[in-house]
């Protein structure tokens, strides 16, 4: 199984954490050209591309939030308040969703063969988020712009945990 990316959204619908484990497919169109002595001319478009990549990843987060938010609302409308949206699958990936009662939303994109990651997301919440972000006395309560989330302990532990699954 492979984990592609992971997002955390707070109760203000802001994306406060993003992590990707594989480069997005669009990032390497020139088939392994690599950084072999980039000339100035090559350098400029690369930077441009990187910038594009960054804005597109922020857009991705927004799109993902919009999607899961609507799906969750639809699921609740059809299946009652107790129903929960868990995952959806496309031809290329599977999106897993976990929401806490405090409106923290965890989203993970994996390959299509992966079984339910609900448990994994729950573990991320109680073992990593709680221990390294909530219980960190110096981290703020509101994580505007991701403040307090991108601390070393959390990032390392998350990376280790996810890599352990793959």
Binding site for another protein (CB under 8 A): 11-13, 62, 65-66, 69, 81-82, 100-104, 125-126, 129-130, 134-135, 141
Nearest to 110 by CA among 120, 95, 130, 125: 95
Q: What are phi and psi of 7, to 5 degrees?
A: -130, 145
Q: Closest separation between CB of residue 20 and another protein, Å?
A: 21
111 or 118, CB closer to another protein?
A: 118
Nearest to 18 by CA among 51, 49, 59: 59
97 or 129, CB closer to another protein?
A: 129
Q: Closest separation between CB of residue 30 and another protein, Å?
A: 32
13 or 116, CB closer to another protein?
A: 13
17's CB contacts (< 8 A; 6+ apart) are: 6, 7, 8, 143, 146, 149, 150
Q: What are phi and psi of 15, to 5 degrees?
A: -80, 115
Q: What are phi and psi of 154, to 5 degrees?
A: -65, -45
6 or 129, CB closer to another protein?
A: 129
Q: Closest separation between CB of residue 56 and another protein, Å?
A: 14
Q: Give the whole-angstrom CA distance, residue 44 versus residue 52.
A: 12
Nearest to 108 by CA among 128, 129, 87: 87
Q: Closest separation between CB of residue 77 and another protein, Å?
A: 13
Q: Are 74 and 80 in contact, with CB atoms under 8 Å apart?
A: no
2 or 75, CB closer to another protein?
A: 75
Q: Closest separation between CB of residue 143 and another protein, Å?
A: 12
């Amino acid at each position: 199984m492979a984990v592609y990316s992971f997002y955390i959204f707070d109760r203000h619908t802001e994306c406060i954490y993003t992590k990707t484990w594989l480069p997005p497919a669009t990032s390497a169109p020139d088939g392994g050209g690599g950084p072999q002595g980039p000339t100035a001319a090559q350098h400029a478009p690369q930077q441009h591309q990187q910038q594009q990549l960054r804005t597109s990843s922020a857009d991705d987060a927004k799109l993902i939030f919009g999607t899961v938010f609507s799906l969750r609302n639809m699921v609740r409308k059809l299946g009652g308040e107790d129903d929960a949206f868990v995952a959806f699958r496309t031809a290329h990936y599977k999106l897993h969703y976990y929401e806490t009662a405090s409106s923290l939303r965890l989203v993970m994109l994996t390959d299509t063969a992966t079984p339910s990651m609900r448990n994994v997301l729950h573990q991320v919440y109680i073992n990593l988020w709680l221990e390294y972000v909530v219980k960190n006395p110096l981290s703020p309560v509101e994580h505007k712009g991701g403040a307090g989330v991108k601390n070393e302990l959390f990032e390392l532990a998350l990376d280790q945990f996810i890599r352990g699954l793959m």
